[in-house]
Amino acid sequence: MTARLLSVGFTVLFLSSCVPPGAARISCRNEDGDAVDWFAFYKLPQNREQKNPSTGLEYMYLDPMTHRWRRSQGLVNMTQSILGRTLQQLYEAHEAKNNRTAYLIYNDNAPRSVDYSWKQGHAKGFLLWDKSQGFWLIHTIPRFPPFPEEGYSYPSTGKKYGQIGICITYNYSQFVEIDSQLLSCMPNIYSCSIPATFHPELTYLPKLCARSRIPRIPHRRLSRLQSIKGQNFLHFAKSPYFVDDIYVTWMAQQLQTNLLVETWQPKLPSNCSLPYYVYNIKQIRMSGQFAFSSYYDHAKWCVSQRYKRHWTCIGDLNRSPFQTRRGGGFICTQNKHIYLAFRGLILHYQNCNQS
Q: What is the pLDDT of residues 190-200, one digit of tens each?
A: 999 999 999 99
Predicted pLDDT of residue 116: 66
136-190, pLDDT tens digit by residue?
999 999 999 999 999 999 999 999 999 999 999 999 999 999 999 999 999 999 9
User: Taking a C-beta distance cutoff of 8 angstroms, is the pair 132, 18 a contact?
Assistant: yes
**266 confidence band (pLDDT: 50, 70, 90):** confident
Q: Which helix (H) or strand (E) holds 232?
A: strand 232-238
What was the pLDDT predicted at 251?
98
Query: What are the residue boundaries of the structural domains of the chain, listed by start?
Result: 26-350
Say yes or no to pLDDT of 6 above 50.
no
* 46-50 mean pLDDT: 77
The rounded distance, in Å, linking the Cα atoms of 7 and 1 is: 10
Q: How would residue 117 be classed by pLDDT, with cut points 50, 70 and 90?
A: low
Q: Say whether pLDDT at 5 is over 50.
A: no
Whether residue 52 is predicted with pLDDT greater than 90 in this model: the reply is: no
Q: How far apart are CA 317 and CA 299, in angstroms?
A: 9
Out of 139, 235, 298, 310, which one is annotated catalytic? 298
Q: Is residue 300 pLDDT above 90, yes or no? A: yes
Higher pLDDT, 98 or 84: 84
Instruction: Tell me whether strands 259-262 and 301-304 are parallel, antiparallel or unpaired.
Output: antiparallel
pLDDT at 214: 84
pLDDT above 70 covers what percent of the chain?
92
Question: Stretch 336-352: mean pLDDT, rounded?
Answer: 96
Q: What is the pLDDT of residue 321?
A: 95
- The pLDDT tens digits for 220-247 are 999 999 999 999 999 999 999 999 999 9
Per the CB < 8 A criterion, the answer to whether 237 and 184 are in contact is yes
- CA-based R_g, the chain, Å: 19
The pLDDT of residue 47: 87
What is the band of 12 on the pLDDT scale with cuts at 50, 70, 90?
very low
Residue-averaged pLDDT of the chain = 91
pLDDT classification of 288: cutoffs 50, 70, 90: confident
Q: Please say if 94 is a catalytic residue.
A: no
What DSSP element (H or E) covers 226? Answer: strand 220-226
Residue 225's nearest CA partner among 305, 281, 170, 152 is 170
